Chains A and B, each alone.
Chain A
Amino acid sequence: MMALIAKDASYTYPDGTVGLSNATIEIEKGERIALVGSNGSGKSTLLLLFSGLIKPESGSIEILGKKIDKSNSKFFRRNIGILFQNPDDFLFNPTVKDELLYTPAQLEIDEDEAIDIAERYASIFGIEKFFEKPPFRLSGGEKKKVALACVLMMEPKILLLDEPTANIDGKTRRKIIEMIEDIKTTLVIATHELDFIDKLADRVVILGMEKKIIADGGLELLDDNKLLEEAGII
């Protein structure tokens, strides 16, 4: 069964900036995809479309066999986890504990169960010592860990990660990569860092400067320097 399908999906932001142009891609359940492209190539837009947070201007998006509308939004929120590129946009609660409990509360998960899961994930990510701290006082790496914990603790069927290793130190980066390696779910990871893709993905989708998908295939695409140059990645 397909987890995600985009058919000729295009999106233009309200200010007229083209976000994505005629993207067609099918992602099977359990597949691990790396979306690779230069800055502004449309990776984040495609992730937002796959999360159902924005709707395509033309074309269509199907998620777990369903089209997004208001009546099934809870189903999508329970099953899709998306990590934003900038954790400052993602963390808006007064404390880290409130951040971790935000989604379970919205999805009406039992409080004791939610606290249990939150504590488990806080311990996995080593963020339990920040439990009562406001997220805006954390460092970039710590914020990223908190945001990732918030997403992973819901154990989503589809995980969309936008530049999960951007702007963080080497140690935190290694830790985050290790954690993502262990996740067994449909994974779409947007990045322009090529060095860890072979660990996390088994398929590569390259987006070009024209905000279109220019290549879709196995990891061998990463060895095609001409293609990567054309995409503005190297």
Chain B
Amino acid sequence: MEILEKTAKEAASFFQNFFSYEIVDGKFLQNVDVRIKMPGLFAFVIAAVSTFNPQKLILLFFVLAVLISVSRIPLRVYTERVWMIPAFSIVVLSPYIFAGNFGYILTFSFRVFLAVSFLTLFMISTRFKDVITALRFFRVPEILITVISTTYHNIHLMFSELYRILIARESRKIKNESFSQMWHNGGRSVGYFFTRAYEKAERVHLATVARGYNDKTKVYSEGLRIRIPDVAFILLTASTLITYLWI
């Protein structure tokens, strides 16, 4: 039963970092305008989850490797963020082993890996304020932007709250619990987490209001100017998608 608690703790720690922007001194993706980068990388995500063709998936993997390399994204940071979801998909698909269908497990997990990788690449190389800029540029309804913005502002706080609860629980556990005790206490912890998360969200909302928020998250954004990294990214995306459709 220890493994369940450890998994919850690892997941809380993982997701706390998952959504944060990390790479500042990049050379390529970081300099691509978000209004170009967002549709490009999302096109790759859709391409990854729309095929089981290994050649197409290898093409996308190659593009992914090029983007990671030219954007100087440290492999450690990238791997730390990406490993968990594909690993989880392998666990979910593990019954297919009994059907002898290894190929399906590998291809499916590879697709998941690619989709998560492109999303991670987007998050890792984009400031949140630029995401808001892009959403406004694509005329996403303001209410949805508010929801995304509020969720983003709260999400790592929630996971750090969960992490603290799990650490506190572990520090006060004297002996191993039986399955039923663990289930009972775990349920109480989850309930406690929801209460704390709710109260935290209230306090964070007060802080946003205290700091000037008034129904709409405002961000500083530049006008769209096409520069060399933007052109290079457009060419890479277009040529990849053409090749993908042609294969």
| Inter-chain contact A108/B129, CB cutoff 8 Å | no
Residues of B within 8 A of A125 (CB): none
With CB as the reference atom, state the residue of chain A lying closest to B16. Answer: A136
Residues of A within 8 A of B21 (CB): 94-95, 134
Given A77-B212, A92-B207, A94-B128, A105:B218 Cβ within 8 A: yes
With CB as the reference atom, state the residue of chain B lying closest to A81. Answer: B210
With CB as the reference atom, state the residue of chain A lying closest to B24. Answer: A132
Given A77-B210, A136-B157, A89:B20 Cβ within 8 A: no
Interface size on A, residues (CB 8 A): 33
Q: Digitize B145-160: 1 where CB-to-A-CB distance is under 8 Å, 0 elsewhere.
A: 0000000111011001
Residues of A within 8 A of B207 (CB): 84, 89-90, 92
CB distance from B153 to the nearest CB of A (A): 4
Given A77-B212, A84-B203, A93:B220 Cβ within 8 A: no
CB distance from A135 to the nearest CB of B (A): 9
Interface size on B, residues (CB 8 A): 30
Residues of B within 8 A of A48 (CB): 206
A202 in contact (CB, < 8 A): no
CB distance from A161 to the nearest CB of B (A): 12
Residues of A within 8 A of B129 (CB): 98, 105
With CB as the reference atom, state the residue of chain A lying closest to B19. Answer: A94
Residues of A within 8 A of B209 (CB): 53, 73, 77
Residues of B within 8 A of A98 (CB): 127-129
Residues of A within 8 A of B210 (CB): 51, 53, 77, 80, 82, 84
Could you say which of B24, B128, B218 contacts A93, with CB atoms under 8 Å apart?
Answer: B128
CB distance from A234 to the nearest CB of B (A): 29
CB distance from A150 to the nearest CB of B (A): 7
B219 in contact (CB, < 8 A): yes
| Inter-chain contact B204/A89, CB cutoff 8 Å | yes
Most chain A CB inside 10 Å of its own CB: which residue of B21, B129, B160, B211: B211
| Inter-chain contact A88/B157, CB cutoff 8 Å | yes
Q: List 25 A-B contacts (CB under 8 A).
A: A54-B206, A73-B214, A77-B209, A77-B210, A77-B214, A78-B212, A84-B203, A92-B154, A92-B204, A92-B207, A93-B128, A94-B19, A94-B127, A94-B128, A101-B220, A102-B212, A103-B211, A105-B129, A106-B212, A106-B218, A114-B220, A136-B156, A136-B157, A136-B160, A150-B211
Q: Residues on B close to A: CB < 8 A?
A: 16, 19-21, 24, 127-129, 152-154, 156-157, 160, 200, 203-204, 206-214, 217-220
